Amino acid sequence: MVAAPKQRPAVVPTEVSPKATRRTYTAEYKRKILAEVDACTKPGEIGALVRREGIYSSHLVDWRRARDRGDLESTKKRGPKVRPPDERDRTIADLERELRRQKARADRAEALVELQKKVAELINLANTEQNEMSR
């Protein structure tokens, strides 16, 4: 008797979904949805709208509060406010840069003076030795 090869079931590849990201809504979209909600008059229309758009009723509550505060009218950006650069800060930075440059120049000049002193001492020493030998 010959055994027939066993049939293995096909393995379904496991699908790994990418990391979920938080949904964001623009102020324009929020205003549009709130306008549609305000236009609803019959019972169940708001529920149908929420299901159609895939949003929660808590979104409507938050968006209404934001609209009442005036947050949906302006295009405010999140995060720290950008301060315009102060002219004094730029002047201070320029002065500090100039001070560093002048200090480096003064250090080089002092090093040159020290080198000249050493050279003069060596020349003076060599001259005195020549004078002593020639006597």
**pTM, rounded to two decimals:** 0.45
pLDDT digits (tens, 9 = 90+) for 49-77: 999 999 999 999 999 999 998 888 766 67
> Has residue 9 got a pLDDT over 70?
no
Per-domain boundaries in the chain: 24-75, 87-135
Residues 6+ apart with CB under 8 A from 30: 63, 66, 67, 72
Evaluate whether 33 touches 53 at the Cβ level (below 8 Å).
Answer: yes
